[in-house]
Amino acid sequence: MPKPGREPAPTKDLVTAYLKEVKTKVDACIFDFLPTTHKHQDVHQLYQMMLDYPRRAGKGLRPALCLLICEVFGGDAERAVNTAAALELLQNWLLIHDDIEDGSELRRGEPCLHQKHGIPMAINVGDALHCKMWEMLHQNTDILGHELAFQILSEFIQLSNQVVEGQHIELSWVHNNQWNLNENDYWTMCIQKTAWYTCITPCRVGAIIGGASVEETDVFIEIGKSLGVAFQIQDDVLNLIGDIGRYGKEIAGDISEGKRTLVLIHLFNSCTPSEAQNVIDIMARPRTEKTEAEVQSVLQLMQKYNSIQYAQECSNTLLKEAVEKFNQNFAHLPDSRAKHLFLSLIHFFVEREY
């Protein structure tokens, strides 16, 4: 039974079915593209490692956004599948390197690549997938022609610059043991590190392939900022209160890793100075030097001060803003399955429980 106030079940089913449909198409494109066998056994092993993260079940949010927005503008989504697949490759090489940089343990329910094969090989596998992303974008020439293919490349370049900067900001906080962060610090990092590659670029490249004007394409910068941050906050919340079987990472892993989230910033703004110092003492230590009880004590403080609830409210507000911007700016576009699905999809992702 759907809970009161939620989307009715049929819409959720539509979204789930659509995500499945997109995943089938995009996976076919990726697994047709990535090499699988080589007569040199070490190279063969590299190929298997390159297939590891792409084979782990992701939700396929980014490709779905790309294909839907392409359709919203009346484009043929089939022409955007290759670009959507490149977005998945991007996600995979970023995650491999990100997991090393954060010292993470689990990714999508399995040990991280560097936990399985060591840091040196994992760095190189990430690089290999990174190269494959540009190769896949290069193949757009045959699908979209030189000019449009170059425009898409340009979008990925802009995105890459954003994401490495966002990543550096977050790594700096860890490196400098910096905890006195405000919400603005968080927005800046999160927009650069997450919103660009999760929402802004997927929507922009979909729009471009769909034939949107420059002005229409640019609207997705603002929409994507709100949406991307909303998704990230929801991800951070699920990290704290999710179900490990469905979420695929260790629960409260962000506390173990000392990750700066909106939840944590709210906690610092709400708790007593001595509680804050205690939290910092726990968060700042390497994960191996934290007990489960210490991690739980931080989680309990977050619950005591309603920090998780606060973050969820922010996430909902951002979603509402994104929907309003979308409706205001694209009222002139005809009602379509794609428009309806796009709005359902973004609700689904902010309200998801895994």
- Summarize as ranges the residues that interact with its own copies (CB under 8 A): 40, 42-43, 45-46, 97, 100-102, 117-121, 123-125, 127-128, 130-132, 134-135, 138, 141, 146-147, 149-150, 153-154, 157, 160-161, 164-165, 167-169, 171-172, 174-175, 188
Q: CB count, 10 Å around CB of 228?
A: 26
Handedness of CA 117, 121, 124, 128 (dihedral sign): negative
The half-sphere exposure of 124 on its side-chain side, counting CA atoms within 13 A, is: 10
Q: How far is the CB of 167 from its own copies (least distance, A)?
A: 5
Q: How far is the CB of 154 from its own copies (least distance, A)?
A: 6
Q: How far is the CB of 100 from its own copies (least distance, A)?
A: 6
Determine the number of helices (DSSP H) and then strands (DSSP E) in the chain: 17, 2
Q: How far is the CB of 158 from its own copies (least distance, A)?
A: 9
Nearer to its own copies among residue 3 and residue 175 (C-beta): 175
Cα separation, 45 vs 49, whole angstroms: 6
Cα separation, 195 vs 187, whole angstroms: 10
Tokens read off for 5 = 């106030």
DSSP 40: S
Q: How far is the CB of 51 from its own copies (least distance, A)?
A: 14
Cα–Cα separations (whole angstroms), residue 149 to 83, 87, 155: 9, 14, 10
Q: How far is the CB of 117 from its own copies (least distance, A)?
A: 7
Nearer to its own copies among residue 141 and residue 297 (C-beta): 141
CA dihedral 46, 51, 52, 57 (to 10 degrees): 170
User: Are residues 192 and 171 in contact, defined by beta-carbon separation less than 8 angstroms?
Assistant: no
Nearer to its own copies among residue 113 and residue 323 (C-beta): 113
Nearer to its own copies among residue 142 and residue 335 (C-beta): 142
Nearer to its own copies among residue 59 and residue 168 (C-beta): 168
Q: What angle do CA 97, 255, 229 make, to 5 degrees?
A: 65
Tokens read off for 153 = 């490349």
Nearer to its own copies among residue 169 and residue 221 (C-beta): 169
> Where are the alpha helices (H) located in 242-336, listed in sequence order?
244-247, 253-257, 262-270, 273-284, 292-304, 307-329
Nearer to its own copies among residue 99 and residue 216 (C-beta): 99
Cα separation, 191 vs 227, whole angstroms: 10
Q: How far is the CB of 252 from its own copies (least distance, A)?
A: 21
N residues, the chain: 354
Nearer to its own copies among residue 24 and residue 172 (C-beta): 172
Q: How far is the CB of 200 from its own copies (least distance, A)?
A: 16
